[in-house]
């Protein structure tokens, strides 16, 4: 049924049979006073009007008004720093699923057809705000429909406030969203637990394997948690350039005493291996070589024939000529030889 807005006089009937000889009835709602513009006078009222081919029940009228309100109430596009964005339910659902597993930056299309580059976390929050607005808008429409359905007559139906609960349009600022996300992350239970764990990680006895599994909890060399001048005892662990180190000699940190450069102060923390041919030590740069131990580097087995006495920042193949290591040729027969034996 089509409804339209018309002008009329104040006190117009809310339901009226237009002709005694015709079954057509007019029903009217959302009555408003006319407002004049500059240089003109205002008089009368305007209202929504719909025609019925019979005398409608109040339930029929309530359905027509609810349908009209839904058709008139369009979502307000979300605004992000003035850019307007809006997506339908299916597109919002797809975007939300995608963004939940995405890092880095993404591009969102605006209603003007431009692309807005955002951090994935910010883009996810934008979609979530859009979803929240859509839910609030649907809740508002259902709430008004319930009030209209509860009306017992046309007077009660017209007394329903059609704007109560209408959500305000969402206006966001990218920098504010970033700050909110940072605050939420810093105050999350996970972040708080991580902060507490990082405070005690050097006070708990950990094996090398356990320490490596918790590498992210150790302080970073030269950071606010471990500034220059800090006195560190033997056994204290920290990270530098994503490598976990352990202090060998007690000292106060100095900017020119770099891990892996100054000998004897630090050692690289690695999983414990016996250093035998059967259980060689995986080589990492800035480790110290120990005579008689076996090491593997890039799939090749080496035996140390001379202790380095300091950390070495080289591949083991480059230390062969220096007399520190020698390549070990496996004494085990190859798989092809074994397969040929009958």
Q: Is residue 224 a part of any domain in this protein? A: yes
**Does some domain include residue 62?**
no
Q: Is residue 102 in some structural domain?
A: yes
342 residues of the chain, pLDDT tens digit each: 789 999 999 999 999 999 999 999 999 999 999 986 544 455 799 999 999 999 999 999 999 999 999 999 999 999 999 999 999 999 999 999 999 988 899 999 999 999 999 999 999 999 999 999 999 999 999 999 999 999 999 999 999 999 999 999 999 999 999 999 988 887 778 777 877 888 888 998 998 889 999 999 999 999 888 999 999 999 999 999 889 999 999 999 999 999 978 778 998 898 888 899 999 999 988 788 999 999 999 999 999 999 998 888 899 999 999 999 999 986 554 433 333 443
Whether residue 177 is contained in a domain is answered as yes
Task: Give the number of residues written for the chain.
Answer: 342
Quote the pLDDT of residue 37.
57
d(CA 246, CA 238): 7
| Judgement on whether residues 171 and 144 belong to the same structural domain of the protein | yes
Per the domain annotation, does 70 fall within a domain?
no
Closest CA to 286 of 331, 224, 342, 221: 221
Task: Classify residue 71: in a domain, yes or no.
Answer: no
Q: Show the domain range for 258.
A: 201-268
Domain co-membership, 327 together with 280: yes
What's the predicted TM-score (pTM) here? Answer: 0.58
Instruction: Count structural domains, the chain.
Output: 4
Q: Are residues 89 and 161 in the same domain?
A: yes
95 located within any domain: yes
Q: What is the three-state SS of 225-237?
A: CCCCCCEECCCCE
| Tens of pLDDT, residues 90-120 | 999 999 999 998 889 999 999 999 999 999 9
230 lies in some domain: yes
My answer on whether 250 and 289 are in the same domain is no
Q: Of 268, 297, 317, which residue sits at a domain end? A: 268
Same domain, 257 and 279: no
**pLDDT confidence of residue 42:** 59
- 116 shares its domain with 179: yes
Domain co-membership, 221 together with 122: no
Query: Does one domain contain both 264 and 291?
Result: no
Torsion of CA 141, 142, 143, 144, to 10 degrees: 50
Domain finish residue from 219, 248, 268: 268
Are residue 45 and residue 134 in the same domain, yes or no? Answer: no
Q: So what's the pLDDT on residue 327?
A: 93
Domain match, 105 and 160 both = yes
262 and 280 part of one domain: no
- Based on the domain organization, do 178 and 239 belong to the same domain? no
- Buried/exposed 295-319: b ≥16 CB within 10 Å, e otherwise: bebeeebbbbeeebeebbeeebeeb
């Amino acid at each position: 049924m089509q409804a339209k807005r018309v002008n009329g006089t104040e006190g117009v009937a809310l339901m009226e049979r237009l002709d005694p000889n015709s079954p057509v009835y007019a029903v009217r709602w959302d009555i408003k006073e006319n407002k004049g513009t500059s240089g003109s006078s205002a008089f009368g009222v305007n209202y929504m009007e719909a025609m019925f081919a019979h005398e409608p029940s109040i339930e029929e009228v309530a359905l027509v008004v609810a349908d009209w309100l839904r058709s008139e109430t369009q979502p307000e596009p979300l605004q992000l720093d003035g850019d307007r964005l809006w997506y339908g339910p299916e597109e919002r659902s797809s975007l939300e699923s995608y963004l939940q597993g995405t890092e880095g930056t993404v591009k969102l299309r605006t209603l003007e057809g431009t692309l807005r580059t955002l951090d994935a976390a910010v883009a996810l929050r934008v979609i979530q705000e859009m979803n929240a607005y859509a839910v609030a808008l649907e809740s508002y429409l259902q709430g008004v429909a319930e009030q209209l359905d509860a009306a017992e007559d046309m007077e009660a139906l017209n007394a329903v406030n059609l704007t109560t609960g209408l959500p305000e349009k969402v206006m966001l600022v990218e920098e504010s969203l970033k700050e909110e996300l940072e605050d939420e992350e810093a105050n999350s239970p996970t972040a708080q637990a991580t902060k507490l764990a990082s405070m005690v990680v050097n006070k708990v006895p950990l094996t090398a394997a356990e320490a490596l599994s918790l590498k992210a909890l150790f302080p970073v060399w030269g950071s606010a948690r471990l500034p220059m001048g800090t006195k560190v005892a033997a056994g204290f662990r920290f990270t530098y350039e994503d490598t976990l180190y352990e202090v060998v000699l007690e000292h106060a940190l100095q900017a020119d005493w770099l891990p892996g450069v100054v000998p004897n102060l630090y050692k690289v923390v690695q999983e414990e291996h016996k250093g035998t041919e059967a259980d060689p030590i995986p080589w990492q740069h800035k480790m110290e070589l120990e005579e008689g131990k076996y090491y593997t580097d890039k799939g090749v087995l080496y035996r140390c024939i001379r202790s380095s006495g300091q950390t070495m920042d080289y591949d083991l193949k480059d230390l062969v000529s220096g007399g520190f290591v020698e390549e070990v040729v496996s004494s085990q027969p190859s798989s092809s030889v074994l397969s040929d034996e009958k």
